[in-house]
Amino acid sequence: MRAGARTKAISRSVSRSLVTGATGFLGRHLLDTLRGHGAALRVMARVVPPEALPSGADCTEGSLLDREAVRRAVRGCDRIYHLAGLVSRRREDARDMFRVHVEGTRLLCQEAAAAGVRRIVLVSTSGTLAVSEDPDRIATEQDGDAQEAVRRWPYYLSKVFQEREALEVCGRGGVEVVIVNPSLLLGPGDERESSTSDVARFLRREIPVIPRGGLSFVDARDVAAVLPAAMERGKSGERYLLGAANWTLARFLARLEQLSGVPAPRVSLPASLASLGGRVLWALDQLGRLPPIDPVSEEMARCFWYLDSSRAQRELGFSAREPSETLLDTIRDLRQRGRA
């Protein structure tokens, strides 16, 4: 074989992974994980600080909505970890979230198909499946998406449509796609407080009452650790729910009190008043009697976001650390960065 031909054959055999959203909370933990796998890496973000770039990795700076930037990013890659997104509870941000999550994902999948990318792992959210007003409901991957339940909340609704778009476009383009649905991400390193803001609010004593709902949460480090397994052996076209604990919000706040020393609220909103809760709290807020109240957060806190991670444990080897370790590390990190 001629030297030039041998070089081309070798280059085609080298696996290169693209990570979108690499500078975010989960993205930074994923880069740490992938470093240990020795994979060739490329990262894409609007701005990539030099310190965030792993040794030996290259980067493409640009928006998911810029076709030329996306085309440059996917060129020469055979795998994509798609983490990029916009996290907001503000209804005013609905248009931007739909553009990034739906239009951006469509463009990425189109360019991936054109570039011969083999497989995409899309990191979505458990909120596309696991949300209910029933405290006894625990969601699995067999449940349909929760479009009707989340129609009031643009972030989750845009993620429902993102998943559909990825499955449809990748299906047409011959690209395998695996969807991973983690619950609320906690742990150290959330510099933008995209996921840990409620813990920070608790530490600042800005949560005035105990909401009636329940949540699921998971350590971002444990999610990052399982993503390579999703890439290697996750079933194309399927979803994997990831969570470490399903707790009532009363239990969650009590554990934060135990670990932080900050008193939890003592007042619970009775279930019979739950439908009026948002309006009552808003009125008290306007009178200056409470810390600022986010009505969307209050609506969400009346629901139960419980899920079952058995499939991910069985098929991907997912393992979650003890929940108190995650909460303690989250508290320490927020305090070290002066956020609480």
Residue 93, H or E segment: none
Sheet containing 79-82: order of strands: 58-61, 40-45, 16-20, 79-82, 119-123, 176-182, 239-242
What distance in Å separates the CA atoms of residue 116 and residue 203, rounded to the nearest whole number? 48
**Greater pLDDT, 261 or 271:** 261
Is 224 among the domain residues?
A: yes
**Boundaries of domain holding 115:** 12-254+297-336
Is 197 among the domain residues?
A: yes
Is 226 among the domain residues?
A: yes
Work out how many domains the chain is built from and give that number: 1
Model pTM? Answer: 0.89
What distance in Å separates the CA atoms of residue 164 and residue 147, rounded to the nearest whole number? 11
Is 288 among the domain residues?
A: no
Q: List the Cα angle 188/191/194 in 5-degree steps.
A: 95
Structure tokens given for 156: 């989750």
Is 23 among the domain residues?
A: yes
For the chain, how many residues are written?
340
Is 275 among the domain residues?
A: no
Is 83 among the domain residues?
A: yes
Is 274 among the domain residues?
A: no
Radius of gyration of the chain (CA): 21
pLDDT in tens, 132-159: 999 999 999 999 899 999 999 999 999 9
Q: What is the CATH number of the domain that holds 235?
A: 3.40.50.720
Residue 40, H or E segment: strand 40-45
Percent of the chain with pLDDT over 90: 74
Does 98 score more than 90 pLDDT?
Answer: yes
